[in-house]
Structure 1
Amino acid sequence: MRILGVDPGLRRTGFGVVDAQGMRLQYVTSGTIVVPSDLPLAERLKVILDNIREVVETTSPTVSALEKVFVNANPSSTLLLGQARGAAMCALADSRLQVHEYTALQIKKSVVGNGHAAKEQVQRMVQHLLSLDGLPAADSADALACAICHAHVGPMVDRLAQRGQLPGTKSVRLRGGRLTR
């Protein structure tokens, strides 16, 4: 499984790609999409959309993981972050990738073992888990952590959902498969 993790932001959107075979992880690539702040909002969102599409085309992931938006004290900032996240999600969906969403708390808990870990702790654990020579940049580390979270948590959640064993889900029989709600 090749996982593309995305840490959306209107100024800086991090991306990270890892290969996962069971619990074995291998670093593929990572980086940060820096969006020019002097562009109109629609063009800034297009920069995110186009660059995520390009990352998908060049790395051929089989699945994606995206950090969920948190609500902060400034509603305007939350809305702008949501729009950046929407541009990234549209690029992933348009590329026919399944999109899995995780909160920052879930990601940190999965990678560091502490849902309230500092950014530096996440960076160090990502470096350790992926055997990187150096410390990844903060946005790249967050995106890689999102991919690592999916590698650890995603397969288990998928199996439970298919069996209808997740709280609040039930399986519905369809011709040729199952739909979990």
Structure 2
Amino acid sequence: MRILGIDPGLTRCGIGIIDVDSRRSARLVHVGVVRGKPGMATHFRLKQIADGIRDAIATYSPELVAIERVFVQDNLQSVTTTMMVMGVAMAETGRANLPMAVHTPSEVKAAVTGNGKAQKPQVQAMVQRILGLDAPPKPADAADALAIAICQAWRGSGLLGSGSDEDFSVSLSGKVTSRRELTPAQQQWAAAQAKTRRTGAVDPRRRQAKQSK
């Protein structure tokens, strides 16, 4: 399955796209940032970001979008503008008729590094290792977007909407239900999600290491 991860930001909105197979092995497809030009009115900057997200969806055809949830912090202005970008990303996902998942920063860090309080360099290093890259992806917004996509790939949770709103849903017991015929990639993804729900989300490399002992 192809997953688009989005790290919302008004100046730099991270875009990371990965392919994930049924074994949860991830491969880099695209990484970059969409920039809202400083000095322009906010609504024009939001349009630039919306256009960039729409172009990424049209170019790379993801089957699912994962977005980092905005968290409350001291800088209210930053939270407000980030929430605006999150809304734009959600709208473009809806326009493309794609399922969407949302994860908190701590969920993403825990999924990728095993530590929900990991610092950005740790996240970048693990993203590099997981995707087999020669160097950590930069800027940090781009690495965060890839981490969000990886989090969704490995955890398979956070989908918004009820089962009737999505192509398919997977219960906590691993039962798969769908409202329309699934594509081969979605069938593989649903099966992988079901297996994870039954065994618990674990870094697939760690699971393999345990099995080899």
Which residue of 145, 148, 169 maps to 2:147? Answer: 145
Inter-partner Cα distance in structure 2 for 1:117 and 1:14: 19
1-structure distance, mates of 2:135, 2:178: 48
- 3-state SS of paired residue (1:39): coil
The 5 A counterparts of 1:41-52 are 41-52=42-53
Query: What amino acid is aligned across from residue 143 of structure 1 in structure 2?
Result: A
Which structure features the higher share of strand residues? 1
Which AA in structure 1 matches 2:88?
A
What CA distance in whole angstroms lies between the structure 2 residues aligned with 1:134 and 1:162?
35
What is the deviation of 1:152?
A: 0.2
1:39 offset after TM fit, Å? 0.8
Residue 77 of structure 1 and its aligned partner are, at CA, apart by 2.0
Contact 2:99 2:159 in 1 (8 A): no
Alignment partner, residue 15 of structure 2: 15
Report how far residue 157 of structure 1 moved: 7.7
The corresponding residue for 1:170 is none
The structural deviation recorded for 1:155 is: 6.2
Residue 98 of structure 1: aligned partner: 99
- For residues 53 and 73 of structure 1, do their structure 2 counterparts lie closer, same or farther at Cα, with a shift above 3 Å needed? same
Q: What is the aligned residue count?
A: 170
State the 1:76 CA deviation: 2.4
Q: Offset of 1:80 from its aligned partner?
A: 1.1
Match of 1:169 in 2: none
- Counterpart AA for 1:58: T
User: How far, CA to CA, are the matches of 1:140 and 1:4 in structure 2?
Assistant: 12
Q: By how many angstroms is 1:175 displaced?
A: 8.4
Residue 55 of structure 1 is matched in structure 2 by 56
Are residues 156 and 134 of structure 1, via their aligned partners in 2, closer, same or farther at CA, if it must alter by over 3 Å? same
1:79 to partner: Cα distance: 1.1
CA change 1:128–1:162 in 2 (3 A) is closer
Which residue of 2 is the match for residue 163 of structure 1?
171
Whichever residue aligns with residue 163 of structure 1, its letter is S
What residue identity is the alignment partner of 2:149? A
Structure 2: give runs of 5+ residues left out of the alignment.
Answer: 164-168, 181-213
Letter in 2 for 1:127: Q
How many angstroms does 1:49 deviate by? 0.5
CA RMSD of aligned residues (A): 2.6
- TM-score scaled by structure 2? 0.74
Question: Which stretch shows the higher mean deviation, 108-117 or 34-43?
Answer: 34-43
